[in-house]
């Protein structure tokens, strides 16, 4: 009798689980599999894309269902920050071209292509290509001829200024609008500040310092391990190792007279920067204790924690941890979870919802943290990490079944 009751309970749970999933989750066939699927993905806004192979050695780009002509090569698909534009390089049997959402520009003299970058306001596209060893970088009506560029190039917020690094023998310089800095042993670029100065970390000898333009704004560190800057160029953050061997976080904002220096820890990693406000967070280790630090506030961790993440609007900071039990911490509120979760996958979260979404081996799962409820979408052969799309107010991912591409969505 007891076994019958347990079996009945399990059936009831499964029916309620899949019933709830059917009410909240749905799927749409995006590609029917008539062409072999090579790659697929989503940007951070509202788009999906795929590359198919209609013929051997020939590829087609599909963005939001819009198909390109077949090409011998497709490279560097890039979406603008606001999601309204995209661009990539394509090559037919004769030449390279710049393909965008509404135009195609033939690069008849290009022997190879290098980089695509949109300005932070999404209005200007910069693209680079090679003619033998000489690189041409074009944006707006401007052209820069560059030799021995190192790393990426950067546009300022409205796309009116450009910066890149260059090799000078065994030394490195920052070049901003054709004007070079002093030489350094190494440089880690960060990005343009709102006032037009370029922010970067530079090394001379054994010490790294932070520069804004040609001015040093920090003391010396033995290493700069992570850097970030927001789209507006108003807040930057970094993680650094001191000469003493301790680690710390640093926040740079015009709201502070000088950079805000955090507490010393044995180790720090996994930094997240708020999209607009002078707030950042990171993992920190002191002895055997692992915590998450947001500016100067510590959130208790566990034996193992993952990197903190801000929601798309910055209203919530969330991270997961596992010790004897697993939990989700949302802006300082800790919610225990009855089952173990992986700390090595990416989670998405709708701001203010107390839900998280993640991909398993077979489906997208939505976990209602307070109610301890699970909802799952269609089972697929493979899928990518989900995103929360604030435009459609739903969790979304892409999944594949027998070469067919599906859009999987769950509303909450």
In SS3 terms, 274-340 reads as CCCCCCEEEEEEECCEEEEEECCEEEECCCEECCCEECCCCCCEEEEEECCCEEEEECCEEEEECCC
Q: Are the C-beta atoms of 251 and 235 separated by less than 8 Å?
A: yes
pLDDT score of 21 = 63
| DSSP structural state of residue 70 | P
CB neighbours of residue 360 within 10 Å: 12
What separation, in Å, do the N-terminal and C-terminal C-alpha atoms of the chain show? 37
Q: Of the candidates 133, 149, 127, 238, which has an alpha carbon nearest to the alpha carbon of residue 191? A: 238
CA-based angle 305:385:271, to the nearest 5?
Answer: 40
CB neighbours of residue 151 within 10 Å: 13
pLDDT in tens, 396-412: 999 999 999 999 999 98
CB neighbours of residue 263 within 10 Å: 14
pLDDT score of 302 = 87
Q: Are the C-beta atoms of 289 and 302 separated by less than 8 Å?
A: no
pLDDT score of 371 = 83
Q: Characterize the bridge pairing of strands 373-376 and 355-359.
A: unpaired
pLDDT score of 123 = 96
pLDDT score of 56 = 95
Tokens coding 104? 């195609």
pLDDT score of 17 = 46
**pTM (2 decimals)?**
0.90
pLDDT score of 299 = 94
Task: State which residues of the chain have pLDDT below 70.
Answer: 1-22
């Amino acid at each position: 009798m007891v076994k019958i009751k347990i079996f009945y309970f399990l059936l009831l749970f499964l029916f309620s689980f899949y019933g709830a999933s059917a009410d909240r989750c749905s799927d749409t066939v995006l590609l029917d599999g008539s062409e072999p699927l090579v790659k697929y993905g989503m940007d951070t806004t509202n788009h999906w894309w795929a590359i198919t192979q209609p013929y051997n050695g020939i590829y087609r780009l599909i963005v939001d269902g819009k198909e390109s002509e077949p090409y011998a090569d497709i490279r560097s698909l890039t979406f603008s920050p606001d999601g309204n534009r995209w661009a990539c390089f394509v090559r037919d049997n004769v030449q390279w071209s710049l393909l965008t959402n509404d135009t195609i520009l033939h690069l008849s003299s290009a022997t190879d292509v290098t980089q695509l970058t949109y300005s932070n306001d999404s209005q200007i596209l910069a693209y680079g290509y090679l003619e033998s060893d000489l690189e041409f970088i074009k944006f707006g009506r401007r052209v820069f001829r560059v030799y021995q560029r190192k790393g990426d190039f950067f546009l300022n917020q409205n796309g009116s200024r450009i910066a890149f690094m260059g090799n000078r023998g065994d030394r490195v310089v920052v070049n901003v609008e054709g004007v070079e800095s002093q030489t350094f042993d190494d440089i880690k670029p960060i990005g343009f500040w709102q006032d037009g100065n370029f922010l970067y970390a530079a090394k001379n000898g054994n010490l790294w310092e932070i520069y804004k333009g040609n001015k040093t704004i920090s003391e010396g560190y033995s290493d700069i391990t992570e850097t970030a800057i927001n789209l507006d160029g108003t807040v930057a953050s970094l993680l650094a190792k001191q000469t003493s061997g301790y680690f710390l976080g640093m926040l740079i904002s015009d709201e502070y007279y000088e950079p805000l220096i955090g507490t010393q820890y044995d180790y720090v990693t996994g930094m997240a920067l708020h999209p607009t406000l002078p707030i950042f967070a990171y993992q920190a280790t002191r002895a055997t204790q692992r915590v998450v630090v947001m500016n100067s506030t510590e959130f208790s961790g566990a034996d193992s924690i993952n990197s903190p993440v801000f929601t798309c609007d910055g209203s919530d900071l969330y991270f997961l941890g596992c010790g004897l039990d697993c939990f989700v911490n949302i802006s300082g509120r800790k919610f225990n979870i009855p089952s173990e979760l992986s700390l090595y996958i990416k989670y998405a979260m709708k701001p203010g919802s107390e839900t998280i979404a993640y991909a398993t081996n077979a489906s997208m799962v939505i976990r209602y943290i307070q109610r301890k409820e699970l909802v799952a979408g269609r089972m697929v052969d493979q899928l990518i990490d989900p995103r929360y799309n604030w435009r459609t107010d739903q969790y979304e991912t892409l999944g594949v079944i027998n070469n067919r591409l599906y859009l999987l969505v769950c509303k909450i």
